[in-house]
Structure 1
Amino acid sequence: MSADLPVELMTKSFSKRDADALRLVLDAVPHPIFVKDEQSRFLLLNSSMCDFMGHSHDDLIGRTDYDFVPREQVDVFQRIDRLVLETGEINENEEFIRGPDGEIRTLVTRKARARLPNGAHCVVGSISDISRMKRDAARIEYLTTHDGLTDLPNRTALMRSLEGKLERATSGRECFGVLRIDVDGFKEINDVFGPATADALLRQVAARLADAADESFLARTSGSGFTIVIDNGPHPDAAIALADRLLAAMADAFDLDGRALRVGLSIGMAFYPNDATDVTALLSNAHAALDRARADGRGVFRMFEADMDHKVRVRRALEQDLRSAFAGNELFLHYQPQANAAGQIVGFEALLRWFHKERGMIPPVEFIAIAEENGLIVAIGEWVLREACREAASWPNAVSIAVNLSPLQFRQGNLPEMVHSLLLQTGLEPGRLELEVTESVLFDDFSRASSILSRLKALGVKIALDDFGTGYSSLSYLQSFPFDKIKIDKSFVWMIQKNPQSTAIIRAIVGLGRDLAMRILAEGVETLSQLNFLKDEGCNSMQGYFIGRPCPIETYAKEIGRFAA
């Protein structure tokens, strides 16, 4: 190549004055930016692009990617260059490239066609290195789907597995079994020898269970509880054979620091479709069988039987009472404050409550699940939103109000219109309303959910991703939709300084939020040490009993600016 070619290219494409001015502007941009001619030769690069390529500006001008990057990768780059030049359409593509340091990087490259001062077309491109974000997302994904003590899949992974298996079984007329397992005698060992010995025991128990389970899915789902999904039939014979192997696996004592400790297992099993046709009922019935095994003396297995469904009958009665309570205006709201890192109350979350005339206060986790199942949550959710907006509009202090949205509400096509109507009716400023959604909403139908969220954002309301880290935790959700806030689930906050895995998850989520310019709120803050840890890690805001308990809004009259005359 002629030594004068770079100069000739620059002269033909830009005047020196124009090129110097462009470089001055582009060098202020932190992302790599480049301009290529119709032969894919570099005409102009900013300093970030030069650093990315590992060469000086003069070394790169007039040369192509073939001079620096493996041919098979450049073939892809140039194919996209030609497509952009031919169609004039903007192209965004995720690419993988080995950097000068030998590390594989994940890049998002955006290319567009432009016209040079001399009339020729060129390709203008920018590069975003999302490698760290990808690594953070992968780490969060692993940490949130695996148990930190045994490295087995956890409950989140179990639910995904069961949902997928149920879908396949429904379409293919297949059957499968669920075994709920509890370690007999674990509490006594924990009390006598301490948590360190108990943890070491659980790791050895998990290893033996994994060997006995063979290819069946095994998860740790509670302190001393495990769950196995078995699909290689026929059932119940295959499940019974597995239960026998599991019980036999505990026959030998466990050697823990020279101590020979023994534990047993209690096992309950239920089968799809004979015992249940949905995941929740299947797990519940297997747990009912486990309760029977424990009641029958432990060290045995039991299969689900119809007379174990007393809890189901109780649940149905509660469902009828909930319908009556909603119709009779017996539901009400409590409000829990949210504070910024400086301790200032900046908002409240509206939380639904129900005082049963016979049973007293019913836990929300109990009756909201029932409302989700029977569809009543749609009407209840609209009432909650209306009542919360009406109340917040009356506060002298214009702090925010957060309201949870149910996945079922997203299946109603008029959600944005309903929210808009309620804002007009109540007079609440849209910017004060924060709607909280869980990852399951996006997972069900991402394109539809994203469209609905975009329409809600267009109203001026804020959107928060609730319980982040407990569901699917896909980076693509955060990249594809600009959430205003990420809420860290309280289960991680409660384990701060107790479980290194929870601490790592919180740090990863806070870092991810910082990279994506999203605010982070930690739920379940109950102690000063938790608060200080979160502040030190850069968490923007907190919510929990240490900040304030859910109470009638009158409890927080000062915080909302409502003073007695």
Structure 2
Amino acid sequence: MKNLLKSWNAPRAPHPPILGDDEAQHRLAVFEDIERGHSGWFWATDASGHLTYISPAACERFGVPAEALLGQLFTSLFETDPENPGECSGRPLQFQLGAHARLSDVTVRLMPARCGPGARPAWWALSGQPKLDVAKPGSDGAFHGYRGSARDITTEYQRRIEDSRLAEFDSLTGLANRHRITRRVDQVLAAFKGTMRPATLMMLDLDRFKQVNDTLGHPAGDELLRQVAQRLTRVVGASGEIGRLGGDEFQILLADQEDRGKLGELADKIIGVVSQPYSIDDNHVVIGVSVGMAIAPFDGTEREEIVRAADLALYAAKHGGRGQFRFYSSDLRDEKEERRLLEEALRDAIASVDGADDSWDEPQLAMVYQPVVRTEDHAVVGFEALMRWEHPQRGAIPPSVFIPVAEDTGMILHLGAWGLRQAARDAAAWPHLLRIAVNVSAVQFAHPDFPGVVADVLADTGLDPDRLELELTESVFMGDGEATDAAFKALKLLGVRLALDDFGTGYSSLSYLRAAPFDKLKVDRSFVESCTLSDQNSAKIIAAIIGLADALGMETTVEGVEAFDQRDVVCAKGARLIQGFLYSLPLRQAVVLERMAGGQLIIPPEGPQRHRPERRSVYRRIGVIHEDHRYEALLRNLSATGARIEGLGGVPVGTSLVLDLGAGQLAVVTVSRSEDAIIGAEFETPLVSDGAGGLVTRYRASPSALAAAARMASKSAPQFLEVEIRKRA
């Protein structure tokens, strides 16, 4: 301390005053009182930046003796705060010391490796000034190091960080809040705009979350959101930043990601993980999630454009069946208006079967029946009732589109009751006493009057209760556990049968089977789709489900069997009841009655020997590029691995082409078949799902790259013949 005091009192002017011994002792005592009181500490370095003095109280804070610190490089004692880089030391402190600048409350964090055992994280505010030996008036003088002070600001710094964190992060889930994720989107788009590097924005919305709040209360809803946030964090990890916008809406920002194959896989994984059952206050809760994705720069370069595009994609995912993902495409611009029109049309359709609207020539809604066949003798043992909607102008509208609309608007109660009554009435008219299975929406099942509706249907139609099988999905367990148990008990007292549909797709809990009185499990068609592939476990899963059902004394129906190779696999795994196009398409009531009257209750399987990946029939103009010439052609069939193209003649087998599928989608193909003006082509890189039943390329060319390629195209003579193809009737 005496040496430090002498250095502080060193001459700073040509004629310094002489300090008396008493005053020097008094100043020394003041310094020592300050140090002992922990209100401030002192430090000093030499010209090379090594520590020459540090207050004993500061050493106590480090948890190490002064001897271990003296002689160390001063900047080595501190580090940048890993949670707030740029907030404190590191390069800024080194720069200021190197420039011999005056320090004023520079925030630094003590280097943990320099501290003794048990030392807590600490932040200091450093002040100091360089020691210069002024030889003559006006000269800069020689630099001899620093003399400075320090104070502990740990409490106020941590409070400031916490305040900053509260301003940046959601207090319920710990995820980034709307303010932070919005700023991050702006930053990423601005940084990538010059280089056109891609970034993806995912918009997520939980399905059926409102029902959890309504049935179990807001505290349960808050706990559910916390668990959802934890699952999202596990899935996304360090590959992206997750934000909660509020309510049950989330955003995920993925920089440098445009591969729609990987993005689709990530979205599928998110949907699968979030859809696993939750345990909240001893209740099993099942929700879902829908995902919409937009990719910069293809879908926009400004935040407003990307957010709007992702939001439109999310809207399409939610109202296209839920539990799905969608990529943005330009044809989604009128999705909200389409939804409004669909709601109006569905109300008209319901009115057409109620007789409340006689403006239609015939009802738009109808029930059709698909046979369930016994594998050992191909005998029909029952039917599943399926609802169909044929709009006069729009044509067939699939249940995956209109059922979610009915659930969201409450029309499902009316629609479901009509379907149940119509199916029971038709089954009661069959000359053979076969069972009829009817799908029940989770919203419909959760209504307290549902058992009463079933009882009324049985009484009005005279159908034997044992012939009625209600097919439920795991989502029926998401509501009030006591109400669910009461509904099961009431239905079983009526004598109807219960089947658990889509088993194996929703991370099925065995507790459902223990708690609910199911009579049958239905193996989802997604397992049948891939059961013949050697790199999948679908066949083993089918065997496990059948074995589980057998052990519990339940029946099993395997859905979606369309080819003989699939039938062979599921039969080898123990399937005794099968449903699928290999046996029959869904039949109208008149056809069912006609076949029953003729005793046609045996349906031999008929169909392809092998299941092929779905090939979609399309009719779309595309560009075909060969070398530097572009042709116009017609795309007729499309699968993930190949396409059929019409309108280009004289193309040799083995020719390499580039297909311009639109919206920046360029796909390299090799011609595998060529006949007249029709060619078959195989993709070099398989297409991937767009989440809506369509196929897209993994990558896209940016608008600027396409424009540059168009400018560079030469006008060389074509090598192939372009043929005009007209649409067939």
Provide TM-score, normalisation by structure 2: 0.41
Distance 2:557 2:580 in 1: 10
Distance 2:236 2:585 in 1: 38
1:471 lines up with 2:506 in the alignment? yes
Q: Deviations over 1:192-242 (max 9, x none)?
A: xxxxxxxxxxxxxxxxxxxxx9946339xxxxxxx97713899xxx978x5
User: Displacement of 1:555 after TM fit?
Assistant: 2.5
Distance 1:283 1:158 in 2: 6
Q: Which residue of 2 aligns with 1:363?
A: 398
Aligned residues of 1:371 and 1:377 also touching (Cα < 8 A)? yes
Q: Decide which moves more: 508-517 or 437-446.
A: 437-446
Aligned residues of 1:216 and 1:229 also touching (Cα < 8 A)? no
Q: Which residue of 2 aligns with 1:333?
A: 367
Alignment of 1:292-331 (within 5 A): 294=298, 302-304=306-308, 310-329=334-353, 330-331=364-365
- Secondary structure of residue in 2 paired with 1:328: helix
Q: Deviations over 1:350-407 (max 9, x none)?
A: 1111111111000111011111111101111111111111111111111111101111
Q: Deviations over 1:295-319 (max 9, x none)?
A: 569xxx9333578652122112101
- Secondary structure of residue in 2 paired with 1:304: helix
Q: Which residue of 1 aligns with 2:700?
A: none
User: Displacement of 1:507 after TM fit?
Assistant: 1.5
What letter matches 1:528 in structure 2? F
User: Displacement of 1:409 after TM fit?
Assistant: 1.6
Q: Deviations over 1:283-338 (max 9, x none)?
A: 45x33x34x854569xxx93335786521221121011100111022211111111
User: Displacement of 1:482 after TM fit?
Assistant: 2.6
Aligned residues of 2:207 and 2:288 also touching (Cα < 8 A)? no
Q: Which residue of 1 aligns with 2:551?
A: 515
Distance 1:268 1:472 in 2: 17
User: Displacement of 1:470 after TM fit?
Assistant: 1.3
Structure 1 residue runs without a partner (length 5+): 1-156, 179-212, 220-226, 251-261, 270-278
Q: Deviations over 1:43-97 (max 9, x none)?
A: xxxxxxxxxxxxxxxxxxxxxxxxxxxxxxxxxxxxxxxxxxxxxxxxxxxxxxx
Distance 1:398 1:214 in 2: 49
Aligned residues of 2:207 and 2:287 also touching (Cα < 8 A)? no
Q: Which residue of 2 aligns with 1:218?
A: 236
Aligned residues of 1:493 and 1:525 also touching (Cα < 8 A)? yes
Q: Deviations over 1:28-48 (max 9, x none)?
A: xxxxxxxxxxxxxxxxxxxxx
From 477, 486, 509, the equivalent of 1:442 is 477
Distance 1:437 1:359 in 2: 30
User: How many aligned residue pairs are there?
Assistant: 338
Q: Decide which moves more: 305-314 or 326-335.
A: 305-314
Distance 1:335 1:293 in 2: 48
User: Displacement of 1:552 after TM fit?
Assistant: 0.8
User: Displacement of 1:547 after TM fit?
Assistant: 1.7
Distance 1:372 1:354 in 2: 16
- Secondary structure of residue in 2 paired with 1:500: coil
User: Displacement of 1:448 after TM fit?
Assistant: 1.8
Alignment of 1:526-537 (within 5 A): 526-537=562-573
- Structure 1's consecutive aligned runs of 4 or more residues displaced over 4 angstroms after TM superposition are 157-178, 213-216, 262-269, 279-282, 292-297, 305-309
Aligned residues of 2:206 and 2:287 also touching (Cα < 8 A)? no
C-alpha change, 1:268 and 1:344, in structure 2 (3 Å) is closer
- Secondary structure of residue in 1 paired with 2:306: strand
Aligned residues of 1:397 and 1:561 also touching (Cα < 8 A)? no
C-alpha change, 1:369 and 1:563, in structure 2 (3 Å) is same
What letter matches 1:446 in structure 2? G
Distance 1:503 1:228 in 2: 35
User: Displacement of 1:427 after TM fit?
Assistant: 1.1
Q: Which residue of 2 aligns with 1:137?
A: none
From 585, 592, 607, the equivalent of 1:556 is 592
1:406 lines up with 2:441 in the alignment? yes
1:231 lines up with 2:243 in the alignment? yes
User: Displacement of 1:443 after TM fit?
Assistant: 3.0
From 516, 525, 531, the equivalent of 2:561 is 525
From 439, 452, 455, the equivalent of 1:417 is 452
Q: Which residue of 2 aligns with 1:546?
A: 582
User: Displacement of 1:267 after TM fit?
Assistant: 13
Aligned residues of 1:217 and 1:229 also touching (Cα < 8 A)? no
Distance 1:519 1:331 in 2: 31
User: Displacement of 1:530 after TM fit?
Assistant: 1.4
- Secondary structure of residue in 1 paired with 2:514: helix
C-alpha change, 1:460 and 1:293, in structure 2 (3 Å) is farther
1:392 lines up with 2:404 in the alignment? no
- Secondary structure of residue in 2 paired with 1:339: strand
Distance 2:299 2:579 in 1: 40
What letter matches 1:540 in structure 2? R
- Secondary structure of residue in 2 paired with 1:470: coil
- Secondary structure of residue in 1 paired with 2:568: helix
C-alpha change, 1:392 and 1:311, in structure 2 (3 Å) is same
Structure 2 residue runs without a partner (length 5+): 1-203, 268-285, 313-331, 354-363, 601-729
What letter matches 1:550 in structure 2? P
- Secondary structure of residue in 1 paired with 2:583: coil
C-alpha change, 1:246 and 1:161, in structure 2 (3 Å) is farther
- Secondary structure of residue in 2 paired with 1:473: coil
Higher relative contact order (CA 8 A, sep 6+): 1
Aligned residues of 1:267 and 1:293 also touching (Cα < 8 A)? no
Percent of pairs with identical residues: 36
What letter matches 2:254 in structure 1? A
Distance 1:518 1:456 in 2: 17
What letter matches 1:337 in structure 2? P
Alignment of 1:126-137 (within 5 A): none
Provide TM-score, normalisation by structure 1: 0.52
C-alpha change, 1:158 and 1:359, in structure 2 (3 Å) is closer
